[in-house]
Amino acid sequence: MHSDDLHSDDCFALRQASRHISKLYERHLSEAGITSTQFSILRTLGRRSSLTMAELAKAMVMDRTTLVRALQPLFRRGFVAVPAQGQGNRRLHVELTSSGLTKLDEAAAHWAAAQASFERSFGPQQAAHLRSELFRMTSEVSDR
């Protein structure tokens, strides 16, 4: 037996909310010429000097194929690179370039505007609680 009630469908609710919030961030980040996924990649790489593709995929909760597609425009624009010492390595490392750091700094202001807009409309405490629950969910729930 299945239910037609979308209000009891967790997957639908999460995907709908994700698309809604993503549009807000995409609108702001487009002013910096990057997508929200690209911003997240740059930000993740900005926190560590270098990550393997596997580490970056895990941090982004993406499969490697999707990550490679997301990284291609960042490689083309010179925002990320594979360090010379990592090119012959079995475990490919990716790092943020100086131009990637500049782009990250530029985009951070647009991201902050999107964040502020979301928190104004949703409420700062509710947004903090939502983040906490979502991070808890991604760290505790396995894909059984």
pLDDT, averaged in runs of 10, over the chain (144 residues):
73 92 97 97 92 92 93 97 69 92 98 97 94 85 50
DSSP helix/strand/coil, 73: helix
Q: What is the pLDDT of residue 83?
A: 84
Q: What is the pLDDT of residue 7?
A: 80
Give dist(CA 121, CA 31) in Å, integer. Answer: 21
Give dist(CA 108, CA 102) in Å, integer. Answer: 10
Backbone angles phi, psi at 139, to 5 degrees: -90, -20
Query: Which option is the CATH number for 24-139: 3.20.20.70, 3.40.50.720, 3.40.720.10, 1.10.10.10?
Result: 1.10.10.10
- The residue extents of the domains of the chain are 24-139
The gap from C-alpha 134 to its chain's centroid, in whole angstroms, comes to 14
What is the enclosing helix (H) or strand (E) of 81? strand 80-81
Q: How many helices (H) and strands (E) does the chain have?
A: 6, 3
Q: What is the pLDDT of residue 144?
A: 45
